[in-house]
Structure 1
Amino acid sequence: MNAPITIDTPRTRISALATDHTALLLDYRLRNRDHLAPSEPARGAEYYTEQAVASRIAQVEAEAEAGSALHLAALDRASGQLVALCSFTNIVRGPFQACHLGFSVDHAHEGSGLMAEVAGAGINYVFDQLRLHRIMAAHMPRNERSAGLLARLGFEREGYARSYLRINGQWEDMVLLSLVDDRPGA
């Protein structure tokens, strides 16, 4: 995972989240604070500072170096603005060869198919380059947009977990899904 990553999609240029994204990530967090709050852990004011963003990016880079996660930033080709994030975390090797998918999209691009474009490109990279076999995801039962996105990407429901994640200060149930690379030779 140490080689530079560049993935071009019709509307974005995707790369591993890195130090040079600090200002872009801070801007993304500030622009999308209210939009993302209902589906993320509760965030204090310090989360929305340059220092917190720089610290998070240092952590992300260390995870990438260790091979335990890949955090992707999608920049709009026209404006250069960060418009989506797609993360593959908790990467496990050995007989499991799996990870967890997390994602968010800028409020201005919600419903445009951009997240499917970005997540699809990331998934292809994870299967083709990292050679993982399973990607797991979860969404709150009431989050129809995430449910629809994951279905379009080919994820299949595997279960339901009660009181699974603490989101916006409350324990939330989650629908559990996965996508398995069943291509010949995978």
Structure 2
Amino acid sequence: MKLKTKRTLIDVPNSDDTQALLTFINENKAHLAPWEPTRDKHYFTKENVQNLIKDYQVQFHNQTSYYLAAFDLERQEILAMCNFTNVIRGPFQACYLGYCVAEKYQGQGIMFEVVEAGLNYVFNELKLHRVMANYIPHNTKSARLLTRLGFEKEGLAKRYLKINGTWQDHVLTAKINPHFIDD
């Protein structure tokens, strides 16, 4: 699976991408910490990144989650990550969206470009009906991104996820496949 945007090549990382993912995770440790679960020092090791990549590949082949890295066009550097996880089939046909952008690429529209391409893939190729994305209320950048992508607010979940060591409320949003036709 490979997607291409104007500035990125989007793909599930493989073993050849270990150094690029390790660099992305380590260079953005402080930048991403306020929005992620608390990570122990093992998370930032090459061994862990190799295991993450193996897991990403397994989940892709099992069609249960799609962990996508947005590389530069030469596939040397990861600019952002976009994840469609916990894919549920049957009558629900849905998944969760997660994303992050490298600190040095913030404010350049990279995240919009990458998530938009990912949404097109899950709606048009995977034929999912619904994508859900949740954000911490004070994360105004995520709020703006999701609104721009057409996500609608559906509610507020109190103490929803333990982020950076604290149970955080989250705004619940979703986007319905605009091309979905009932069968």
TM category (shorter chain) comes to over 0.9
What stretches of structure 1 of length at least 5 have no aligned partner? none
Residue type of the partner of 1:145? K
- 1:48 corresponds in structure 2 to 44
Pick the aligned partner of 1:127 from 116, 123, 133. 123
Secondary structure at 1:80 match in 2: coil
Shift, 1:78, TM fit: 5.8
What stretches of structure 2 of length at least 5 have no aligned partner? none
- 1:31 corresponds in structure 2 to 27
CA shift in 2, pair 1:57/1:78, >3 Å: closer
Q: Please give the alpha-carbon distance, in whole angstroms, between the structure 2 residues aligned to 1:79 and 1:125.
A: 20
CA shift in 2, pair 1:67/1:79, >3 Å: closer
Q: Which stretch shifts more, 130-139 or 70-79?
A: 70-79
Q: Please give the alpha-carbon distance, in whole angstroms, between the structure 1 residues aligned to 2:180 and 2:167.
A: 40
Whether contact under 8 Å (2:2, 2:10) holds in the other structure is: yes
Q: Please give the alpha-carbon distance, in whole angstroms, between the structure 1 residues aligned to 2:181 and 2:167.
A: 40
Residue type of the partner of 1:104? C
TM superposition score normalised by structure 1:
0.94
Q: Which stretch shifts more, 69-78 or 20-29?
A: 69-78
- 1:148 corresponds in structure 2 to 144
What is the percentage of aligned positions where both structures have the same residue?
Answer: 43
Q: Provide, for residues 141-178 of structure 1, a one-character-per-residue CA deviation record: whole Å limited to 9, x for no partner.
A: 00000000000100000010000000011000000000
Shift, 1:13, TM fit: 0.7
Residues 1:118 and 2:153 aligned together: no
Alignment RMSD (CA, Å): 1.2
Residue type of the partner of 2:167? W
- 1:15 corresponds in structure 2 to 11
Pick the aligned partner of 1:100 from 96, 100, 104. 96
Q: Please give the alpha-carbon distance, in whole angstroms, between the structure 2 residues aligned to 1:50 and 1:78.
A: 22
Q: Please give the alpha-carbon distance, in whole angstroms, between the structure 2 residues aligned to 1:104 and 1:184.
A: 27
Shift, 1:18, TM fit: 2.0
Whether contact under 8 Å (2:26, 2:44) holds in the other structure is: yes
Whether contact under 8 Å (2:136, 2:168) holds in the other structure is: yes
Q: Which stretch shifts more, 52-61 or 128-137?
A: 52-61
Residue type of the partner of 2:81? L
Q: Please give the alpha-carbon distance, in whole angstroms, between the structure 1 residues aligned to 2:109 and 2:163.
A: 24
